[in-house]
Amino acid sequence: MKHFVLLALVLAVSSAVFGQQIANNLPPDLLARDTSSPAASPAEWAQPLPAAKFLTVAAEPPSLNTTTEALAFTPIARPVEQKPVFHKKVFISEVAAYTVANVLDGITTVRGVRRGFTESSWPRGSAELLGTRPGIGRYAATMGAMEVGAAFISYRLQHSQNRYLRLMGHSFLLEGTVDHSLGSANNLALPSHPALQ
């Protein structure tokens, strides 16, 4: 019962606020009748206007006051200015950090393979992508392509007006940097020979 009362209260308050916003944003009725003239009955509204009276009314030019009043209340569509959300220096810094971590991971991985170690399977390594004994060319081609893809997706997401999509764009590069940093740290912690493990 408490939840129902709370829900009804929230709906009532939001409806009142929404109605007030609509009332504040509506232009005044420019076709409203003059309050000094007597109100016309519905029978008078239905009667057609005589042609002579119609021609004289139509021939009269509109007064300056009515024109300026009508123009003063005409809503003008203004373009919404969108703030620039993309920060080029931040993006370049993220790509640079990703690249440094990727290169260090590649150097330490190839050095470990030359000493007799093999690449582990996921989640500890990338044997599914690189094979168990990757060389420089294979590592550079595979991980370079993955970095270019991540940078492109991140670049596009960081241009979004949506804050959550921008955060997702930053996370692509941050996640790659962290992964490669951990990979190079693990490679550096390996002993000098596999038999010494």
Closest CA to 98 of 90, 108, 88: 90
pTM (2 decimals)?
A: 0.57
Domains contained in the chain, number: 1
- Residue 84: predicted pLDDT: 72
Q: How far apart are alpha carbons 95 and 101 in whole angstroms?
A: 10
Is residue 81 domain-resident? no
Is residue 134 domain-resident? yes
Residues in the chain: 197
Amino acid at 119: E
Tokens of 116: 């007799």
Residues 138, 127: contact at Cβ < 8 Å? no
Is residue 9 domain-resident? no
Is residue 135 domain-resident? yes
Give the distance, in angstroms, between the CA of residue 2 and the centroid of all CA atoms in the same chain.
37
The pLDDT tens digits of the residues spanning 60-71 come to: 555 555 555 555
Domain that holds residue 116: 101-190
Is residue 180 domain-resident? yes
Is residue 15 domain-resident? no
The answer on pLDDT for 169 being more than 60 is yes
Is residue 54 domain-resident? no
Share of the chain above pLDDT 70, in %: 57
Is residue 175 domain-resident? yes
Q: How far apart are alpha carbons 148 and 194 in whole angstroms?
A: 33
